[in-house]
Amino acid sequence: MRQWLVQDVMTRDVLTVAPDTPYREIVDSLVRRQVTAAPVVDGDRRVIGVVSEADLLHKVEFIGEEHERRTFERSSRRSARAKAHAAVAADLMTTPAITALPETSVVAAARRMEGDRVKRLPVVDGDGLLVGIVSRRDLLRMHMRPDPAIREDIVEYVLRRALWIDPVCVEVDVVDGRVMLAGRLERRSTAGLAVRLTAEVPGVVAVTDRLAWDYDDSRLVRASGYAFGDSVQLVRPGTE
What is the rounded distance in angstroms from the CA atom of residue 197 to the CA atom of residue 158? 6
If one compares 41 and 68, the residue with the highest pLDDT of the two is: 41
Average pLDDT of the chain is: 88
Look up the pTM and report it. Answer: 0.72
For residues 151-176, give the mean pLDDT: 96
Q: Which CATH architecture has domain 145-224?
A: 2-Layer Sandwich (3.30)
Is 1's pLDDT higher than 80?
no
Please give the biggest Cα pair distance in the chain. 78
Is 193's pLDDT higher than 90?
yes
Strand, coil or helix: what is 62?
coil
How much is the pLDDT for 79?
Answer: 72
If one compares 140 and 131, the residue with the highest pLDDT of the two is: 131
With contact defined as beta carbons under 8 Å apart, do 237 and 2 qualify?
A: no
Domain ranges across the chain: 6-140, 145-224
For residue 167, is the peptide bond before it cis, meaning its omega torsion is within 30 degrees of 0? no
E-assigned strand segments in the chain: 37-41, 47-52, 120-124, 130-135, 170-175, 178-187, 206-215
Residues 74-124 have pLDDT tens digits of: 666 667 777 888 999 999 999 999 999 999 999 899 999 999 999 999 999
Least confident segment among 38-52, 60-74, 127-141, 171-185 = 60-74
How much is the pLDDT for 64?
Answer: 56
Residues 17-57 have pLDDT tens digits of: 999 999 999 999 999 999 999 999 999 999 999 999 999 99
pLDDT confidence bin for 233, thresholds 50/70/90: very low
pLDDT confidence bin for 220, thresholds 50/70/90: confident
Nearest-5° Cα angle at 103, 37 to 120: 15
Reply yes or no on domain 6-140 having CATH 3.40.50.2300. no
With contact defined as beta carbons under 8 Å apart, do 51 and 40 qualify?
A: yes
What is the rounded distance in angstroms from the CA atom of residue 235 to the CA atom of residue 200? 12
pLDDT confidence bin for 226, thresholds 50/70/90: low
Q: In sequence order, which residues have a C-beta less than 8 Å from that of residue 172 and are 6 or more positions away?
A: 151, 154, 155, 159, 179, 180, 181
